[in-house]
Amino acid sequence: MADIEVKALHKRYPDGTVAVDQVDLSIGDGELFVMLGPSGCGKTTTLRAIAGLERQTTGDIRIGDTLVNDQPPAERDIAMVFQFYALYPHLKTRDNLAFPLRAEGLPKAEVRRRVDEVARLMRLGPLLDRRPRQLSGGEQQRVALARALVRRPRAFLMDEPLTNLDAELRADMRTEIKHLQGELGATMVYVTHDQVEAMSLGHRIAILNKGRVEQIGTPLEVYDRPASLFCAAFIGSPPMNLIEVEVADGQLRGQGGLVLTPPPGVPRDRRLVAGVRPEALAVTEAGAERSVPARVVSAEWLGDEIIYVVDHGGQRDVRVRMPPTVRHAAGAAVGLRHTGGTPVVYDVRTEELVA
Ligand code: ATP
């Protein structure tokens, strides 16, 4: 396997659209690296540039020790898995898996050995003699993954490979991909717009917005300290509450009276927004100690938890994660209390993390 270095990657399409704007990425050998962002942020273009399917306008791409800017896709020795699994419909699973190896001209015995090995790894044994139309969507995607794995390329590039699967199968496949990636020590770049997928899969995540990298970090880092208001609003389900605050008497005060402990180094000379996770707040009885007044806008009962949306200080979308035993109806007057830790703080003007 190999590491991948992307330097100042820039892609401008002929119609003037800038899809990728000076992107730098350093992906380690054996790393599962996720590119996450909303539709149109430039994930696919970046991935296609790494694969050689799209020529960058400027910037360099290195795979292992090789600068691959001028290499066609076939010479880059990488495998790509897309959202749509393009299996050959007339071939049995066994032959779909063998296809890339035969194309490389490997001896028959070696092809057979490698196909058997990947079939065992991905538990495809019972499916080896079926054609794609005799397989479910999830099974087809497993075969497509296996076909990528069988080649042992220098890196795997995956573009939303699980999008077409139902929720349960997606979760299973996530586990499977993570396991296989670890087992093979594979370098993998995985593109998704689904933050849950990114958090559960990635060793590190790059969050992209409008062609630019907003943050690169481990799942824990991007969850604990989103680097910008964009990242704060993107990571977490529901995401962080963003509450405008002022520094007064050594405290952060929201408009509705919510008081938060400031993190060290909070600047005093600008407008600030505090980021507070829904699990760092609690809905209490109205008037409870250390609570401020709020009103329930809606309560979403999810079985193991309730997500309250409350109106506090004129902000009608403050979200609070509570255990399912606490019940307040929509419209109820309640209290809102900060329960955990110090918030993160953003500059309203630059939208960047400042403390
Ligand atoms: P999605 O998740 O929807 O696939 P993405 O993050 O992968 O989105 P890209 O497909 O990389 O985004 O597209 C980035 C931007 O470039 C978008 O604004 C898109 O409309 C634009 N774009 C993509 N291909 C072309 C093209 N061939 N010509 C012009 N603009 C393009």
Å from CA of 43 to ligand 1 middle: 8
What is the model's pLDDT at position 343? 95
- The type of residue at 40 is G
Confidence of residue 340 (pLDDT cuts 50, 70, 90): confident
Considering the chain, what is the average pLDDT of its residues? 93
Question: Residue 220 CB: number of other CB atoms within 10 A?
Answer: 9
Confidence of residue 246 (pLDDT cuts 50, 70, 90): very high
Residues 6 or more apart in contact with residue 135 via CB below 8 angstroms: 93, 127, 143
**C-alpha span between 200 and 178 (Å, rounded):** 9
Residue identifier of the C-alpha nearest atom 20 of ligand 1:
40
**Mean pLDDT on 221-249:** 95
Å from CA of 46 to ligand 1 middle: 10
Check residues 241 and 327 and name the one with the higher pLDDT: 241
Å from CA of 270 to ligand 1 middle: 36
Is a pLDDT exceeding 90 seen at residue 170? no
Crossing angle of helices 93-103 and 108-121, rounded to 10°? 130
- What percent helix, strand, coil does the chain show, rounded to 5? 25, 35, 40
Å from CA of 319 to ligand 1 middle: 32
What is the model's pLDDT at position 1? 81
| Contact between 42 and 21 (Cβ < 8 Å) | yes
| Contact between 172 and 197 (Cβ < 8 Å) | no
Å from CA of 155 to ligand 1 middle: 23
Residues 34-54 have pLDDT tens digits of 999 999 999 999 999 999 999
| Contact between 243 and 233 (Cβ < 8 Å) | no
What is this structure's pTM? 0.91
- Whether the CB of 88 sits within 6 Å of ligand 1: no
- Whether the CB of 48 sits within 6 Å of ligand 1: no
CB contact burial 278-302 (16+ within 10 A = b; e otherwise): bebbbbbeeeeeebbbbbbbebeee
Is a pLDDT exceeding 70 seen at residue 86? yes
What is the model's pLDDT at position 211? 98
Percent of the chain at pLDDT > 70 equals 99
- Whether the CB of 50 sits within 6 Å of ligand 1: no
Confidence of residue 287 (pLDDT cuts 50, 70, 90): very high
Least trusted range by pLDDT, from 71-85, 236-250, 281-295: 71-85
Spell out the domains of the chain, with CATH numbers in brackets: 4-230 (3.40.50.300), 238-347 (2.40.50.140)
Is a pLDDT exceeding 90 seen at residue 120? no
Residue 352 sits at the vertex; the CA angle it makes with 350 and 355, to the nearest 5 degrees, is: 125
- Whether the CB of 350 sits within 6 Å of ligand 1: no
What is the model's pLDDT at position 206? 98
What is the model's pLDDT at position 312? 94
Ligand 1 atom having least distance to the Cα of 211: 14
**Mean pLDDT on 7-27:** 97
Confidence of residue 72 (pLDDT cuts 50, 70, 90): very high
